[in-house]
Amino acid sequence: MQDRVSLYPGRVKLTPVAGQANTYDLTRADQPTQEGTPLNKASLLKDTTASAFGLGTDAVPDDALHLLSRFQRGLGNEYIWAKEQWNWEVVKSNSTYSLILVQSGNTNRTYVRYSDDIILDSDGNISLAEPITQIYPTYNSAGSLQLDNKYVQLSSFSYADAEVHPVRFSDGVTFVSGNTYRLTYRIVDALHRRTLFGYVNSPSPDAYPPAVSDGYTYNPLGQLGDKVRIATGSYTGTGTYGSSNPNSLTFSFPPEFLVVSPNQEPYRLFLVRGMTKSNTSPTGGSGGNVAVAWDGSTVSWYGDSTGGEAYLQLNRRGTPYFYFAIG
């Protein structure tokens, strides 16, 4: 923002209002060399800025400052939710399949119901919209029943039972021979898919309870400062080993799990926080025994077996070692 710079600071001009006693119009007469930034809503809190904070057009600067104060108290203390919507979506398989249809017979014949469209309910169930039912004896090799690009549902009736098939998308029916036909189709299915609209946060763990009914689902993800952290890196062995020369790694967080490995050698170190002993040898021999210490964000270890070597402590001179830590 810029200050107003005037040749005559504070100077104003009073002009009498005609016909109104003791009433004047006041205008600035300070002759500014720099106008300065006007003191108005657009300068102090634009509507677009208020919207970015999740505030309405009636918000005042203090409302935005109040939200910013939460960062001063510690961003890691904020609770976070994923703002989602779950919807059923119809998908068709890319692969095609075929099924033999029976026109008539003593034990079985196929009925077909078909439609140009389908209905998908809130539970993911698919049904035909205003279906047409056709009994297959009316179908002939000339193709009196056209099923290209239709949604179809078949029913096979026998003496004992009636089996209703799921809705499928038909690529057409071809005549085979006698009373049989071949339906080529693609599988129609309903998938429950998530759409992520971003994340919301609040200092209160109850700000977005499951009962919020604004059309979204809020999936609680805990506190920001409570998230899993990962660190990777490497070091080059110095050739030393033993209790007077431990290996040590320090992280920006207290690690809960640590893996250390050279590039090609078979020796490895797997540590879970709290372990005081481990072994680097792939065969578990006593020569690979190491003592482990945990101190906040630092992990250290050394070979504690008689006759140990630097390579068993994962510190062979000139050898690169790689580590992976989770906290």
Return the HEC string of 87-109: EEEEEECCCCEEEEEECCCCCCE
| 83 pLDDT higher than 50 | yes
Mean of pLDDT over the chain = 86
Q: Does residue 16 or residue 182 have the better pLDDT?
A: 16
From CA 64, how far away is CA 60, in angstroms rounded? 7
Question: Do 90 and 206 lie in a common domain?
Answer: yes
| 37 pLDDT higher than 60 | yes
pLDDT value at residue 290: 93
Amino acid found at 150: K
Question: Do 67 and 83 lie in a common domain?
Answer: no
Alpha carbon of residue 314 to chain centroid: 38
Q: What letter does residue 74 receive in the DSSP assignment?
A: H
Residue burial 312-321, b: 16+ Cβ < 10 Å; e: rest: bbbbbeebeb
Question: Do 270 and 314 lie in a common domain?
Answer: yes
Q: What is the pLDDT of residues 214-244, one digit of tens each?
A: 888 898 888 887 778 899 999 999 999 999 9
| 293 pLDDT higher than 50 | yes
| 204 pLDDT higher than 80 | yes
Question: Do 62 and 148 lie in a common domain?
Answer: no
Question: Do 37 and 128 lie in a common domain?
Answer: no
Task: Tell me which of 73, 91, 119 is where a domain ends.
Answer: 73
Question: Do 105 and 33 lie in a common domain?
Answer: no
pTM assigned to the model:
0.46
Question: Do 52 and 185 lie in a common domain?
Answer: no
| Contact partners, residue 23, CB within 8 Å, separation at least 6 | 16, 17
Provide the number of structural domains found in the chain: 3
Report, as an integer, the average pLDDT of 177-205.
86
pLDDT value at residue 138: 46
Query: Strand pairing partners for 175?
Result: 181
| Contact partners, residue 148, CB within 8 Å, separation at least 6 | 170, 171, 172
Question: Do 100 and 18 lie in a common domain?
Answer: no
Question: Do 59 and 147 lie in a common domain?
Answer: no
Report, as an integer, the average pLDDT of 283-305.
88
Task: Tell me which of 209, 224, 239 is where a domain ends.
Answer: 224
Q: What is the pLDDT of residues 295-323, one digit of tens each?
A: 989 999 998 866 568 999 999 988 999 99
Question: Do 138 and 219 lie in a common domain?
Answer: yes
Report, as an integer, the average pLDDT of 123-130.
91
Task: Tell me which of 54, 73, 92 is where a domain ends.
Answer: 73
Question: Do 64 and 182 lie in a common domain?
Answer: no
Domain interval for residue 87? 78-224
Q: Are 174 and 165 in contact (CB under 8 A)?
A: no
| 114 pLDDT higher than 80 | yes
**Across 38-42, 132-136, 183-187, least confident range:** 132-136
Q: For residue 302, which of 261, 248, 242, 262 has the smallest C-alpha distance?
A: 242
Question: Do 69 and 82 lie in a common domain?
Answer: no
Q: For residue 114, which of 164, 170, 158, 162 has the smallest C-alpha distance?
A: 170
Q: Does residue 134 or residue 79 have the better pLDDT?
A: 79
Q: What is the pLDDT of residues 129-141, one digit of tens each?
A: 998 876 554 444 4
Q: For residue 153, which of 175, 131, 171 has the smallest C-alpha distance?
A: 131
